Structure formats: C-alpha cells, structure tokens
C-alpha cells in the first residue's frame, strides 16, 4: 500500500473506531446525551478526512468545503458534549462565531481567491479559537476531577497546535501550488499525525470520564433510596459520619429527628402499594423542603425517616419536628389521594451529648420515637441527657399533638 494512501485511510479508520465505541456506550446508557455527541463528533472527523483524501467524484472545491465544514461541526459537537457534561451553559454564540468566521475566510480563499496557505490559516485559527472557548468554559466548573483538568490541558494544547502548526508549515511549503498533490504536502502529513495523536488522547480522556461518571452513578445509587430519592441507611451514615469525626475534640451541637409514618401498613393494605408509594414520595418532598440547605435526610426503613441537623441543639431540632407534625395536620402532603384522609407521623428527637457516637445518638432518638408511638402517635417525643452528680440521667418527655 502507498504511504500516502495509508495515511489517508488511517485517520478515518481511527475516528470510525472511536465513534463506534462512544455510540455503543450511548446505546447502553441513552440518558447520557453527551456520549452520543462524542460519537457524532468522531464520525464527523472520520467523514471529513475521507473527503480530504478522496474526492469521491465531487468537484475539488465542494469536497474541500464539505470536509472542513465537518471538522468545524466535530469541534462544535465536542464542545457541547464536554461543557454540557459539567452542567455548564454552552457558549453557542462564541463557538458559532469562531466556526462561521473560519469557514467564511476559508471559502474566500477557496472559491474567490485560491490560496492554499491562507486556507490553512483560516481553518486552523478558527478551530483553535473554538478549542480556547472549550478550555475557558471548562475552567468554570465547580468540581473538576483529574480527568477534567486533563481535558482542559488537552484542549489548550490542541489550540496551541492549531495556532503554531500553520506557521511552521507555511515556512516550509514556500508557496504551495494548487496542482501539487494534496496528500503529499507537509500540511497534510502534519495534520494527519496531529489529529491521530490528539484524537486518541482526547478519546482516552473522554472514555475515562465516561467510566468515572458510571462509577459515580453506581456510588450514588448504592447510597440512595430509589422511591423517595433520599439517602438510604448506608448513605445517611456515610454523610453524617464526618460530623462526628470532626467534633471529637470540640463537640458541636448536632440534632437528630426520627420520623415514622403512623399506621402505614394499613395504608398499603386498604389503598394499595401505589398509594403507599405516593405517601412516601410526598413525605420525602416535605422533608426536603423543610430541611433544605441545613439538614441531611434519609429514608432508613419502610416508613421510617431520619433528619440529621448540624449546628442545631435539642430545642431547634424539637421545633423542626413540631413544625413537620403541624404541617401534616393541615394536609401538607401533595399528590396524595383525598380518599386517604389525614396522614400523621410520630417523631423522636435527640441532640448529641458530649462525644456521643452516631449509633448512640440514633438509639436514643429511636427510643424516644417508640415512646411517641406507644403514647398514641401523632406527637413529638424528646430525649436528653442531664448530669445529676456523677451519673447521667436519660430524661424523656412527650408533647401531645395539639
């Protein structure tokens, strides 16, 4: 096989395989739209290089125009994918402006005033500007893992390559003639090699981010209750553990509220599990609203919930529980069938004493919850430790739901 033909086929082959890899991943996880965009990105790169090396019966100008348009589309798709993955606003206007400007100058020196070197600068500087936009946009992300930082550096290096390589090639080309075989030019050779290098590096980085995202999703799923969307027991304990580790030397106020929906089994038996699921979901939403920004909330059992309140003493935690009980008494659960009637809940409240562990705090709050249920439900029961002499005394009191 001729060396120039091998180079012409190498980029489409590499890009095609990378595109297939991303499309296969997207087929398995279709909610990840950015993976689809990455697959289309590499598909555009491969198609663009096919038209660069083989005209496929098209006129020279048409093949070159379509080929470079595909390159700009590829970088645009790449930008949308990596920026949207970080939940950032995609700078469509700036990306489009770079692409349109590059293609406009390229078209001028292709159709109106043919100049090979000028076309090189137009395309590369347009693509380089888009890579700069990508790098600057990604820097705005709040949380950047190592692979995300690597992607920023690769985007910056790719932009540098786009800006420097045309200058070097122009010096060595020394007035390229349109009649000279394109695939034997220094520009074509350096372009092919740099695209292969950066395509593989960027693809490996992106595949790593996809794997990293999948691991994060699995971790979140293992810590989250599917029905309520709250933390499960494992996730709740993992989220609250650092507060107990950090406060061993200087204990801080930590409150815990346990909630148990009253007569929940009867709800499932009389109205069906669909209604029971609606109650769980609605109550979880009420907890999120009440504890927004200040509490760690979990579903620790079937109808049991836990609310951990950093920097809150017993009084504040009790008021929080009383507020929830009062809200339920007014029918605050949205989306629950009216036939169900009023949904009530029992609460057990405790605050950390000294360097008490989470397990010990949880047990005291659970004991208070059991007392609330035995006392008639729909009420708040509080437990606290009071020192009398050298012996701590566990004191429990309850307040009726009136």
For residue range 4-21, what is the model confidence (pLDDT) as tens digits? 666 678 888 999 999 999
Q: In order of start, what are the domains of the chain with their CATH numbers?
A: 3-223 (1.20.1070), 233-399 (3.30.70.270)
CB 74 within 8 A of CB 45: yes
How far is 380 from 319, CA to CA, in rounded Å?
Answer: 10
C-alpha of 383 from chain center:
40
Whether 222 shows a pLDDT value over 60: the answer reads yes
- The whole-number average pLDDT for the span 360-372 is 92
Whether 387 shows a pLDDT value over 90: the answer reads no
Alpha helices, DSSP H, located in 108-185: 116-138, 146-173
Identify the sign of the CA torsion 80, 83, 87, 92: negative
- The whole-number average pLDDT for the span 141-147 is 84
Structure tokens at 28: 């398995």
Structure tokens at 328: 């339920």
Share of the chain above pLDDT 70, in %: 87
Q: Which residues are CB-contacts of 221 (< 8 A; sequence separation ≥ 6)?
A: none
Q: H or E stretch including 190?
A: helix 186-223
Whether 231 shows a pLDDT value over 70: the answer reads yes
How far is 89 from 85, CA to CA, in rounded Å?
Answer: 10
- Three-state DSSP class for 272? coil
- Helices 146-173 and 116-138 pack at an angle, to 10 degrees, of 170
CB 348 within 8 A of CB 257: yes
Residue with tokens 């406009």: 104
Please count the other Cβ atoms lying within 10 Å of the Cβ belonging to residue 280: 21
Q: What is the pLDDT of residues 50-86, one digit of tens each?
A: 988 777 788 989 999 999 999 999 999 999 999 988 8
C-alpha of 154 from chain center:
21
Which is more confidently placed, 192 or 177?
Answer: 192
Confidence of residue 248 (pLDDT cuts 50, 70, 90): low
How far is 309 from 236, CA to CA, in rounded Å?
Answer: 12
- The whole-number average pLDDT for the span 330-341 is 75
CB 309 within 8 A of CB 255: yes
How far is 377 from 371, CA to CA, in rounded Å?
Answer: 9
How far is 153 from 108, CA to CA, in rounded Å?
Answer: 33
CB 369 within 8 A of CB 346: yes
Q: Which residues are CB-contacts of 146 (< 8 A; sequence separation ≥ 6)?
A: none
CB 50 within 8 A of CB 58: no
Structure tokens at 215: 């691991």
pLDDT at residue 393, rounded to an integer: 41
pTM: 0.69
For the chain, give the mean pLDDT: 85
């Amino acid at each position: 096989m001729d060396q120039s033909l091998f180079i012409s086929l190498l980029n489409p082959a590499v890009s095609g395989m990378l595109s297939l890899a991303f499309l296969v991943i997207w087929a398995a996880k279709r909610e990840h739209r950015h993976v689809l965009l990455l697959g289309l990105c590499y598909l555009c790169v491969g198609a663009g290089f096919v038209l660069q090396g083989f005209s496929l019966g098209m006129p020279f100008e048409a093949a070159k125009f379509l080929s470079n348009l595909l390159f700009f589309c590829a970088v645009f798709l790449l930008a949308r994918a990596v920026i949207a993955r970080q939940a950032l606003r995609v700078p469509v206007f700036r990306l489009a402006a770079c692409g349109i400007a590059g293609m406009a100058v390229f078209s001028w020196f292709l159709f109106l005033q043919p100049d090979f070197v000028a076309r090189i600068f137009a395309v590369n500087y347009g693509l380089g500007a888009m890579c700069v936009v990508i790098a600057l946009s990604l820097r705005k992300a709040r949380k950047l893992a190592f692979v995300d930082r690597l992607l920023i550096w690769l985007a910056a290096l790719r932009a540098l390559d786009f800006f420097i390589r045309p200058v070097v090639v122009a010096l060595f080309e020394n007035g390229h003639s349109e009649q000279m075989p394109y695939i034997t030019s220094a520009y074509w050779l350096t372009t092919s090699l740099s695209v292969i290098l950066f395509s593989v590096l960027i693809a490996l980085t992106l595949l790593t981010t996809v794997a990293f995202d999948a691991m994060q999703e699995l971790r979140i799923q293992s810590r989250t209750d599917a029905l309520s969307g709250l933390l499960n027991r494992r996730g709740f304990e993992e989220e609250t553990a650092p507060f107990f580790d950090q406060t061993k030397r200087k204990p801080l106020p930590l409150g815990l509220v346990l909630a148990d929906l009253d007569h929940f089994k009867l709800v499932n038996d009389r109205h069906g599990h669909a209604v029971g699921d609606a109650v769980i979901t609605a109550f979880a939403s009420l907890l999120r609203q009440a504890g927004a920004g200040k509490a760690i909330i979990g579903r620790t059992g079937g109808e049991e919930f836990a609310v951990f309140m950093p920097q809150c003493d017993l009084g504040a935690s009790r008021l929080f529980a009383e507020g929830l009980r009062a809200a339920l008494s007014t029918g605050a659960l949205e989306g629950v069938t009216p036939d169900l009637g009023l949904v009530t809940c029992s609460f057990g409240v405790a605050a950390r004493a000294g360097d008490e562990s989470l397990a010990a705090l949880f047990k005291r709050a659970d004991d208070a919850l059991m007392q609330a249920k035995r006392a008639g439900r729909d009420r708040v029961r509080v437990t606290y430790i009071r020192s009398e002499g050298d012996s701590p005394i566990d004191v429990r009191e309850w307040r009726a739901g009136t």
